[in-house]
Amino acid sequence: MDGNHLHMRCMAHTLNLVVQDGLKEVGDFVKRVRQVVRCIRQSPTRLNKFKECCELEKTICTKSLCLDVPTMWNSTYLMLKVAQEFEDACVSYGALDRGLLHYLLAHVCEDGKSAGSLLSTNWENIRHMVTFLETFYELTLKVSGSLYVTSNVHFIEICELHYVLKGLIESEDSDLSSMATNMKKKFNKYWGEPEKMNKIIFIACILDPRYKDEYVTYALVSMYGEEKGEKIIGDVKKYMISLFNEYAKQHSIKSQSSSSSSGNTLDLPSVSSHQSQSKKSVATFTQQFKKHKAESGSSDAKTELDKYLGEASENGSDGTDILPWWKMNSPRFPILAEMARDVLAIPVSSVASESAFSTGGRILDSFRSSLTPKLVQALVCSQDGFERTHVRLESRKI
């Protein structure tokens, strides 16, 4: 298609920008939790005393307090999620160690101000914040995967995010509503104008047999209004047909070349020169007809597309792998199967590849700079092997 739709924004990075805008409205309770965790983890003595408080309050948690990176909202979510499990232990530790209150009031945070004491009402805010960020955290993990197809859920997750933000804006909680309003502004910047979005996003959703064009039609009208939605639907259908015709032409050329090559391998004796000349004429005309059909857009190919869209959508959960479906139905939809193989291979996030390129830097740092190249390679390969083994074991449990 002349390379008009090669550019694809990383969905995980866009989602990160959306959430970061929402966190600008966060209150001081996040800073206070961060300072509490920092104070406890700075000293082995404090950490041991905190463990005693956990035993006293009978707090059972397999994880330990973790400090976040302020510029990475997902680490802030993990910090708050673990901290809420230790609420009773933190309250008990604050009453036992007066140095914690002094630390909160005396030490300045990244913004140059002190955090202030951690109040009992702040823990309720922390629980709300964890619930709020959990949806976006799970969405980030879902679209950042590299061992399964993600392009077919790109538009679906955009719709889900739009629905979640709409509900949060109408929430009675003023803080959550304010955060969601800021996030919706950033959402509209990237996904508020569907005519500027890569149409492959919609095509990938149509190629999901569970949704097809019915979901895209309903979603576009619901999100952008009937007038604007209908216009985008028309553009998507035109692009779908034109893209499909391109694959139909390539498929016809491949079929024609394979049939001609197979004809060349056969050397059957002819009954008479008149009959062989007649067969040659028929074969030439048939090839000419196939060429004309490929150039004008194969009617059989269009029938194949209409047949796929005309069939009822398949039943399946959100985690269903659609690749086996296309493999099983490729004899019925050979051209669409080729198209699905290319479109569904597109990742919607560059997080996995960036992580793969940066893993060497995490192993070979300033404290382990004497490792040989062979040993670094062995560590990287071993880490990858362990991760894949864990994935296979988890899939077997499911």
Same domain, 135 and 114: yes
Q: Are residues 81 and 208 in the same domain?
A: no
pLDDT score, position 329: 92
Reply yes or no on whether the pLDDT at 355 is more than 80.
Answer: no
93-107, 135-149, 175-189, 192-206, range with the lowest pLDDT:
93-107
Three-state secondary structure of 277-336:
HHHHHHHHHHHHHHHHHHHHCCHHHHHHHHHHHHCCCCCCCCCCCCHHHHHHHCCCCHHH
Same domain, 51 and 163: no
Residue finishing a domain among 331, 348, 365: 348
- 136 & 151 share domain: no
Domain count of the chain? 3
Q: Which of 163-177, 213-227, 253-267 has the lowest mean pLDDT?
A: 253-267
Confidence tier at 204 by pLDDT (50, 70, 90): very high
- Mean pLDDT of all residues in the chain? 80
Residue 83 has pLDDT above 80, yes or no: yes
Residues 165 and 305 in one domain: yes
**Do 59 and 109 share a domain, yes or no?**
yes
Cβ-proximal residues to 344 (8 Å cutoff; 6+ apart), any chain: 149, 151, 152, 204, 207, 322, 323, 326
Domain shared by 209 and 336, yes or no: yes
Tell whether 196 and 336 lie within a shared domain.
yes
Any domain includes 251: yes
Pair 39, 46: CB distance under 8 Å: yes
pLDDT at 104: 81
Residues 60 and 203 in one domain: no
Same domain, 307 and 169: yes
Q: Which domain holds residue 369?
A: 351-397
- Asked whether residue 138 falls in the same domain as residue 44, the answer is yes
Identify whether residues 61 and 111 lie together within a single domain.
yes
